[in-house]
Every structure is written in structure tokens, then in C-alpha cells.
Amino acid sequence: MPQNVLSTDNPAQDAPAPAPRPRKVPRIVVLGGGSVGLYVARRLRKKLGKREAAIVVVDPRPYMTYAPFLPEAGAGSIDARDVVAPHRIALKGIDVLQGKVTNIAHGDKKVTISPEEGMDYEVSYDHLVVGLGSVSRTLPIPGLAENAIGFKNVEEAIAVRNHVLNRMDVASSTWDADLRERMLTFTFVGGGFAGIEALAEIEDMARYATRNYPTIEESDLRFVMIEGAGRILPEVSEPMGEWALEEMKKRGIEFHLNTFLSSCEDGHVVTSTGVEFDTETIVWTAGVKANPVIKDSSDLPSDKMGRVTVLPTLQVARTNEDGTEGEVVPDAWAAGDCAAVPDLLNPGSFCPPNAQHAIREATQLADNLIAQLKGESLVEYKHKNIGVVASLGLYKGVAELFGFVKLKGPLAWLAHRSYHVMAMPTGNRKFRILIGWIGQFLMGREIVSLGSLHDPRDEFRKASVPPKQQGEKVEQKAEASAAKAEHGG
């Protein structure tokens, strides 16, 4: 049972709701159960007893996805269940509500939640933490919504893996050369960290899989990257980005830089530079944007990019017309991808939206919220970026650490795995990931498409007979089993 009555309104009745009972302890509502929400809630619970605060986490999914491991999950290097941390396990002693936040009325200190089933309801609070994260940033490109898929959550990563392997399965038994070429052409749009890691891991997996297809050679696979900028991996220095580009070109990956996707109707790709080809796989990784509920359905202040404006203390604050810090919004906090967190070490800029900053921001936010409850002074968030690491496939990677350590190949790949397995929440998940890596090293990749998982009722629907016309009698009778019939039973 929740620690307190969560809603003061009953949507099923027209009568006025009774006056809410006064709460014995302050309620802290955390919107979002991702990196920010999960770490904030865990730290608050660790430092505040149940008699000091009631903590509620709201998220549409019952788990947190550790995004840096999505490419490896898509390539089958990590089991899909091991890149998520179930809220019911990771958030002990915390109320978890599964639903989508549709409105934030901080003036009334209420949020509206839309559950997967049932009517919307409101939850009141004393303190609000906004960690709603980001969603894919798409463009009105003809055919994009109908033909592309994102790579933002574990469901999409596994769907891409199953789709790529399924296209290889089907192409291996297809004699139509044009159709086969279309099936074996895989297109990725967006050359940032997410896009390059996804492309590199999926390509590495697909080339490994060709050893199981006598009719498919590695040269039959065509992987295409479309990127609007003149380089890839803008998060690393230009020389390291160039090295990664050349290494991936050696693997046969085709790059179109300074190029935009103009159309992809019916799988026919047309680019801004006039390149045209057919494909049955389009993966969109061209950026993210803050959760739109902040700008569209919230009274919290936001910037032109839709992010909540905050102070370095991670308190929500309004900005003045000249862009300077303004009035603090009482009892509201925000961090992560959906917040414009000032980067004190790089004046004039904001902290990048990555897991490294999100987790550290969450820790500082929780400490500051506790300090405010206890009447203590707040501390500004300040973190020097220790570096960036990227996986480019099995035993391949690129990394820049502490501003001067530059790693390439296996050492960078090892640094990537080491850092992220340590950052993965819960010891259970760390152990499972390590066991999976050991199993893969000893027995190789598990290459199998389970595409039917995405529509498990398809075969049953096809086997079902059409219903009788209205008024027509439906006869049902038991039939003897084959074994009984054979023995004359």
C-alpha cells in the first residue's frame, strides 16, 4: 500500500472530493524512473527514513533502461533483461506508480498521471523532482514515421536486432537479386554517439552471422550512415573522430557526411545530395529532445529547447530577459536530459545529456533536497568530465580519458565495458552482465531472430477460422485423440 493517500480527487464521482487529510511527512514525487529518477529516489530513501519523507516515483515503464548498453543489447552481447533495472527491485521502500505524466501543475502542487488502463488521476506533493528524460527528435520527412525505427529504448534495440537477422534469413532464400539487395541494405541516420555505436555493434553482429548463411557473403551486406554534419562522434576530438571514421570505412561501412535524409517513402531513400537506394531497414538516431510534456503541459519555466531551466544547485528557476538567473521556483528540482543544467566548468554552456552527468546530477540533487529539508546550505553541481568512451563493435572502440589519455581498439573497448558495468545500478545486474560476457567469450554470439516476439498472436490469427454469420448455429463436439483412435478406444 502507498505510504499516504496519493490522490485527493475521485474521477469516478461528480461530487466534490473531500478535503485532503494532512500528511504526517512531506511527499516527494519524482517524475521519471530513468537515470535521474532512480538515483535520486534511491539516495533520498537511503538518507531519509519513512518517517521523514514519503517518496513516489512515476514512470510509464516498470524499469530503468541503462542507455549506454543498448547497442550491445541490440547486438546480442548483453541479454535485453540485463540492461534494465526493475523499479520494484531497485526502489525498495519507495512507492512506484506506472503511468505517463500528462500535466504538471506546480502552482497547485499536483501532477496528472495517465495509467495504461483506467482513468487519469492526480497526485499531490510537497516537493517535485523532474527527471523525465528525452524522446527521439524527429523531422517531417516523407516516409519516416511509416518506415523508420528509433534506438532509444530496449524494445527498439531488440526489434532492430531481430529485424536485421530476419532480413538475412529471408534474403538467404530469395533469388530475386533486387529484392535481396534491398533486404541486405541497412541504413542508419545520425552520426552521434548513439548512432555510431548502434551502427557499429549491429554491423559487427551481422557480419559475424554471415558464417551461418552459405548463400550470404559479408560483401553482400550494405551498411549506410547518413549524417548532416561534416564529421562523426562530435563528443570526441576531431582526430579521434577521424580515426573512428576511417576504421569503420575499412569494414565496408558507407558514410554520407554533410548529407540529410530527404525522403524514405516505401523504403526508397533519397538524400539531400542526390543519393538514392532502396532499403528495408532505417534506424533513426538523429538526436533527442526534452520530454514534450514540460513545454506543452507544465507551468514550470523552460527554455527554447523545451528543457526545464535550473540553477547550478538544480533548483528550478525562471530566467530573466537577459538570460541571467532569476527567481527560484520553490520546491521544484530538475536534472538530466530534460533540464538545462549550467556547466560551471565551461561558462555559457550546459552539461551534456549523457549518463555520466545524469547520475552525478541526481546525487547532488538528492543531497541538496535533503539539505533544504534540514535547513542547511545547498551545493552547486560541478563535475569535470572524466572522458568519453565508445564501443565500435566487439573488441573495437575509441576513448578519451582525463583530457589526455587516448585509447583505440581493444583497450578503448575494455575501458567502455569497465566503466559502464560499474555504473550499472544493482549488483544483480552487474553480475548478470559479467556472466553474459564470459559466456559469449567462451561460446560465441547467439545469433537467432525472434521476430515473432513482436506479434506473438500472428500465427494464431492466421489459423483461426472466420466466425459464423449471425443466427447461424455453432456446433462444437469433442474429438478423440489420435492415440486413442489408433487403439480403437
Residues 323, 233: Cα–Cα separation, whole Å: 30
Is the torsion defined by CA of 258, 264, 269, 271 positive or negative? negative
Residues 45, 40: Cα–Cα separation, whole Å: 9
Q: Does residue 76 surpass a pLDDT of 90?
A: no
Residues 296, 381: Cα–Cα separation, whole Å: 27
Contact 183, 165 (CB under 8 A): no
Centre a 10 Å sphere on the Cβ of residue 215 and count the other Cβ atoms it contains. 13
Beta strand residue intervals within 63-192, DSSP E = 63-65, 84-86, 95-98, 100-105, 110-114, 121-124, 127-130, 134-136, 148-150, 185-189
- Extract the C-alpha cell encoding 108: 497547485
Determine what percent of the chain is predicted with pLDDT higher than 70: 88
Produce one character per residue of 416-446: b if its CB has 16 or more CB atoms within 10 Å, e if not: bbebbbeebbeeebeebbeebeeebeeeeee
Report yes or no on whether pTM surpasses 0.75.
Answer: yes
Higher pLDDT, 85 or 470: 85
Tell me what the pLDDT averaged over the chain comes to: 88
Task: For residue 222, give the H/E element and its range.
Answer: strand 222-226
Q: What is the pLDDT of residue 48?
A: 95
pLDDT band for 287, please (50, 70, 90 cuts): confident
Q: Does residue 24 surpass a pLDDT of 60?
A: yes
pLDDT band for 450, please (50, 70, 90 cuts): low
Residues 37, 87: Cα–Cα separation, whole Å: 10
Q: What is the pLDDT of residue 2?
A: 44
Q: Does residue 460 surpass a pLDDT of 90?
A: no
- Going along the chain from its start, the domains and CATH numbers come out as 27-136+289-374 (3.50.50.60), 148-286+387-443 (3.50.50.100)
